[in-house]
Amino acid sequence: MLPSVEELKTVLEQLLPGVSLTVEGGSLIVPPQQLTTVCRCLKETERFSLDYLSNLTAVDYPSEQRMDVVYHLYSMSKKHGPVSLRVKLPRANPIVASMTPIWRGAEFQEREVYDLFGVTFDGHTDLRRILMWDGFVGHPMRKDYVIEDQDAS
């Protein structure tokens, strides 16, 4: 069985000296610089074996000038999950480490978040738009995106 989020925080902080996490609404808030360390530990520690990244998305908080990237992890081998991680990034320049070296499945989801939210994933080998076309300007899932008037001539 997977420990509760509070226990998980304590266990991770013991395993990884220098890492400080917070719990917020059932998710672990991970500092951006420590995300790779924490994720690698969650995948490779036998007890957790979180080998499956089921979801990677982002949330835009314009009033707080913040962009959160959200990770949902499951374990196929242990049949447990989900563990929810969140990384808080500055909205003006959101950059976070890519998770593709850890979970191969992150590649397309990171491209989607880059396309629609404009988050840059450091270390991604092929970071380009995936849904919108190459010449598209802007990131349409950002709250301040202005939708074109299709009736205008």
Partner 1 sequence: MAIEEGLKGELQKQGVYLTTWDQLANWGRSNSIWPLQFGLACCAIEMIASAASRYDIARFGSEIFRASPRQADLMIVAGTVTKKMAPQVVRLYNQMAEPKYIISMGACATSGGPFHKGYNVLKGIDRFIPVDVYIPGCPPTPQALLEGLMKLQERIRSRGLAREIAGKQGEYPIPAFGANGLEPRYNPDVWQPPASVPTPAA
Tokens 């499945």 -> residue: 105
Nearer to partner 1, 46 or 149 (CB): 149
Cβ at position 117, least distance to partner 1 in Å: 13
Residue 146 DSSP one-character state: P
- Given the rule CB under 8 A, which residues bind partner 1? 131-133, 135-138, 140, 145, 147-148, 150-153
Nearer to partner 1, 25 or 128 (CB): 128
Cβ at position 138, least distance to partner 1 in Å: 6
128 vs 90: CA distance, rounded Å: 21
Nearer to partner 1, 26 or 138 (CB): 138
Nearer to partner 1, 78 or 142 (CB): 142
Nearer to partner 1, 13 or 112 (CB): 112
Cβ at position 133, least distance to partner 1 in Å: 5
Element (DSSP H or E) covering residue 114: helix 106-117
On whether the CB atoms of residues 90 and 142 are closer than 8 A, the answer is no
Cβ at position 142, least distance to partner 1 in Å: 10
CA neighbours closer than 13 Å in the CB half-sphere of residue 71:
31
Cβ at position 94, least distance to partner 1 in Å: 20
Residues with Cβ within 8 Å of 147's Cβ and at least 6 positions away in sequence, in order, are 140
Q: Work out the burial of residue 57: count CB atoms within 10 Å of its CB; fewer than 13 is exposed, 13-18 middle, 19 or more buried.
A: middle
Bridge partners for 75 per DSSP: 80
